[in-house]
Amino acid sequence: MGMHLGMPRNSTRPYWELAARIEQGVDELHALREKGELASHLMIDQSMEDTVAEVLDTGSCTILNNLESRIERMAETEIEGDVRMTPDEFT
């Protein structure tokens, strides 16, 4: 996200740290949520807990959807830019 989208590392770091913790193996997320232990177990703030809950409820989240839309717009812009270029622009 930082390299391709120009997002500062301090804003993306919590998400990749959370993903790494979950990939390393976390107890059942639904059970942790029901017990009210999701935030403390994952070491996340309320905002991140809301994001995890949204993923648990829907299979996706607003943040991911917004990133995907942004990436799609960037890809379309790059493709349009490539199409508009003439061979002379490469020399």
pLDDT tens sequence across 61-89: 998 888 888 888 877 776 555 545 555 55
Which pLDDT score, from 0 to 100, does residue 90 have? 44
Which pLDDT score, from 0 to 100, does residue 91 have? 42
25 burial type by CB count under 10 A (0-12 exposed, 13-18 middle, 19+ buried): exposed
Give the start-to-end residue ranges of the domains of the chain: 2-85
Asked whether residue 4 carries a pLDDT value surpassing 70, the answer given is no
Q: Enter the pTM of the model.
A: 0.64
Which pLDDT score, from 0 to 100, does residue 57 have? 92
User: In terms of pLDDT, which residue wins out, 86 or 32?
Assistant: 32
